[in-house]
Structure 1
Amino acid sequence: MSDSLPLAEVAGRDETASWYEATARERIAGLLDAASFVEFVPPTARETSPHLHLFDLPVAFDDGMIVGAGRLQGGCVLVAAQEGRFMGGTFGEIAGAKLVGLLRAARETGGGCAVLLLLDSGGVRLQEANAGEIAVSEIIGAILDARAAGVAVVALIGGRAGTFGGAGLISACCSHVVVSEQARISVTGPEVIETNKGVEEFDSRDRALVWRITGGRTRVLLGIADRIVSDRIECFREAALQGVRQAPAFGLATLVAEQRRLEQRLRTLGECRDTPEIWRAMGIDEPGDVADLGDEAFAAVVAGQGTRHDAR
């Protein structure tokens, strides 16, 4: 059973706390206006996975997915937060259904409520893989439907589990993506690459390599994420508010522009095998020093590269 605290017990927690170290409920409490969150399908509803008991595995009464409505500086938001400490924040049948339902509710507001996705996930839950894969596809469809209806969908990423597999695909469909330096985003996780291709291809225990390839700084420079913030809940709050207000329009022109951007990126960077080669190809001075730059110096590098939101 999940040991995450009810939101009422963490409502007074300092919003300057570390996003990386916080639980999903602590992130919600620090992110939203005080006492504004109302949870849908709370732990008291006991909606647990119907599959995990077959593997003699413990369940969580919220299935590692917290959904509800609240206020962000007075504005209406619908929120979904994954608990990365429960089975790596993986998607299963119940967690997926809760998120799909939230996104469909957001679509019905016609833009009246933005959506905040606090992603912290290793991907699809292997013990209910088929249900998890279906859930991811339904979530992607629901995000696109919500955006087409004028809803801003903002992903906030910086937790322990990262954002891998289906979660990585989901983040790519959002209006705006906010990361910290601790964030990791990829379709295929380091351990999966190593298992299938060998340690010579990718050493998942090499932390410098993992963050160099999948980490927050890399994802911002490549245009996979839009903004990088310090690892504090208050910084994510400020960035979430900005992301909601500046979410780009969504339509055919947006998709065409994004496709052109990705095609150009592939032509320019497709032969690169590691990030220093990428930075060199992008014209960044001293590419080997990107990971060691201070926040202000790194922000200047990002500003020099422009943003992907000319496309999104």
Structure 2
Amino acid sequence: MNARQPFTLRRSWFEATARARLQALLDPASFREFLPPETSEPSPHLAVLDIPGAFDDGVIIGAGRLDGREVLVIAQEGQFMGGAVGEIHGAKIVGLLKRAQRDKPAAVLFLADSGGVRLHEANAGLIAISEIMRAVLDTRAAGVPVLALVGGSCGAFGGMGIVTRLCSAVIMSEEGRLALSGPEVIETVAGVEEFDSKDRALVWRVTGGKHRYLTGDCAALAEDEAADFSRVAAQLLAGWQEDVPSLAALRAEQARLSTRRTRFAGLRDGLDVWAALGVAEPGQVPLMDRDSLVDLKKGLPQ
């Protein structure tokens, strides 16, 4: 008789709340929340519009340990207004990043799950996004890496898509999505002929974690479970030395992106992009597990 295999509880990152992700990501009992429920600061703008707010305004900030290293953490709650950034939401993120610049933790872990700016707050939300962008860059300049973890139901779009790509590195799951404009926005502006937001397979082929990994927009892929996001983040941080981009490095990256834009001009589907990258059987990519995809990328022409 075969011995019974031990039961392991898997926790989906995609389906979890922000608080559940933090508890599972960090070392046990190490999370300490800043501005907890008793110090509630709901958005005054939503109250004026008679829209229900949330005590944390859709984002949790705090400190904890990852594999023994002291880290600061930001976790957006996609289940509240799609993780949209408003004034209070943005101020909490900026304050946490400024604390990182002062305290010099091993890293800031940014659990992004947001469709972008909270339109209800108009300019206040736009200003908040710009302040977060500056704070991320200032934190990196202070020698503290900022790792973006993307795998929630809202992905990282709009201004949060930009913020995510300003981070030191991006970790995604296959279920994660990352882009500037969301599928619904593209369809609304350019029409369904340009992009059908209801074609979920197409959406993931264009914005999903596998696509972003193959095109070099994320540093590592994680499985859709908190334990694997934790493992991959700890692995990335081991021996990490934050490299503040020089002007020469930024120009080289701009040249790379310009070349990529020319190379993929006119391609409308991830399948076409993967073929252009040298993938022999692009149709097999959505069916591959994480390890197979990593091996596939290693074999692609550089």
Listed as ranges, the gaps of 5+ residues in structure 2 are: 1-7
Using the TM superposition, give the Cα deviation of residue 205 of structure 1 relative to its aligned residue in structure 2, in angstroms: 0.9
Using the TM superposition, give the Cα deviation of residue 288 of structure 1 relative to its aligned residue in structure 2, in angstroms: 2.4
Question: Is 1:227 aligned with 2:220?
Answer: yes
Structure 2 partner of 1:36: 30
Using the TM superposition, give the Cα deviation of residue 208 of structure 1 relative to its aligned residue in structure 2, in angstroms: 0.6
Using the TM superposition, give the Cα deviation of residue 167 of structure 1 relative to its aligned residue in structure 2, in angstroms: 0.9
Question: Is 1:209 aligned with 2:202?
Answer: yes
Structure 2 partner of 1:136: 129
Is the contact between residue 221 and residue 302 of structure 1 (CA under 8 Å) also seen in structure 2?
Answer: yes
Using the TM superposition, give the Cα deviation of residue 128 of structure 1 relative to its aligned residue in structure 2, in angstroms: 0.5
Structure 2 partner of 1:299: 294
Structure 2 partner of 1:290: 285
In the superposition, the TM-score normalised over structure 1's length comes to 0.90
- Deviation digits for residues 86-113 of structure 1 (CA, Å, limit 9, x no counterpart): 000010000100000111111123x433
Show the 5 A alignment for 1:82-231: 82-109=76-103, 111-231=104-224
Q: Which amino acid letter does the alignment assign opposite residue 52 of structure 2?
A: P
Using the TM superposition, give the Cα deviation of residue 247 of structure 1 relative to its aligned residue in structure 2, in angstroms: 5.5
Using the TM superposition, give the Cα deviation of residue 266 of structure 1 relative to its aligned residue in structure 2, in angstroms: 1.8
Summarize the Cα distance change of 1:306–1:146 in structure 2 as closer, same or farther, 3 Å threshold.
Answer: farther
Is the contact between residue 162 and residue 185 of structure 1 (CA under 8 Å) also seen in structure 2?
Answer: yes
Q: Which amino acid letter does the alignment assign opposite residue 65 of structure 2?
A: R
Find runs of 4+ consecutive structure 1 residues off by over 6 angstroms: none
Is the contact between residue 194 and residue 202 of structure 1 (CA under 8 Å) also seen in structure 2?
Answer: yes
Using the TM superposition, give the Cα deviation of residue 15 of structure 1 relative to its aligned residue in structure 2, in angstroms: 7.2
- Deviation digits for residues 154-180 of structure 1 (CA, Å, limit 9, x no counterpart): 001101111111110010001110000
Structure 1 partner of 2:3: none
Q: Which amino acid letter does the alignment assign opposite residue 270 of structure 1?
A: A
Using the TM superposition, give the Cα deviation of residue 283 of structure 1 relative to its aligned residue in structure 2, in angstroms: 1.2
Structure 2 partner of 1:3: none
Larger deviation: 267-276 or 130-139? 267-276
How far apart in 1 are the matches of 2:298 and 2:75?
A: 30
Using the TM superposition, give the Cα deviation of residue 28 of structure 1 relative to its aligned residue in structure 2, in angstroms: 0.4
Using the TM superposition, give the Cα deviation of residue 56 of structure 1 relative to its aligned residue in structure 2, in angstroms: 1.7
Using the TM superposition, give the Cα deviation of residue 207 of structure 1 relative to its aligned residue in structure 2, in angstroms: 0.6
Larger deviation: 252-261 or 27-36? 252-261
Using the TM superposition, give the Cα deviation of residue 33 of structure 1 relative to its aligned residue in structure 2, in angstroms: 1.1
Secondary structure of 1:117 counterpart: strand
Q: Which amino acid letter does the alignment assign opposite residue 166 of structure 2?
A: C
| Aligned residue pair count | 293
Secondary structure of 1:285 counterpart: coil
Question: Is 1:71 aligned with 2:71?
Answer: no
How far apart in 2 are the matches of 1:279 and 1:61?
A: 44
Is the contact between residue 48 and residue 61 of structure 1 (CA under 8 Å) also seen in structure 2?
Answer: yes
Is the contact between residue 154 and residue 243 of structure 1 (CA under 8 Å) also seen in structure 2?
Answer: no
Structure 1 partner of 2:17: 23
Q: Which amino acid letter does the alignment assign opposite residue 27 of structure 2?
A: D
Q: Which amino acid letter does the alignment assign opposite residue 176 of structure 1?
A: A
How far apart in 2 are the matches of 1:23 and 1:241?
A: 21
Listed as ranges, the gaps of 5+ residues in structure 1 are: 1-13, 308-312
In the superposition, the TM-score normalised over structure 2's length comes to 0.92
Secondary structure of 1:185 counterpart: coil
Using the TM superposition, give the Cα deviation of residue 293 of structure 1 relative to its aligned residue in structure 2, in angstroms: 2.2
How far apart in 2 are the matches of 1:145 and 1:270?
A: 34
How far apart in 1 are the matches of 2:266 and 2:39?
A: 51
Structure 2 partner of 1:4: none
- Deviation digits for residues 212-253 of structure 1 (CA, Å, limit 9, x no counterpart): 111110111111111111101000001111232336511214
How far apart in 2 are the matches of 1:202 and 1:182?
A: 19
Structure 2 partner of 1:310: none
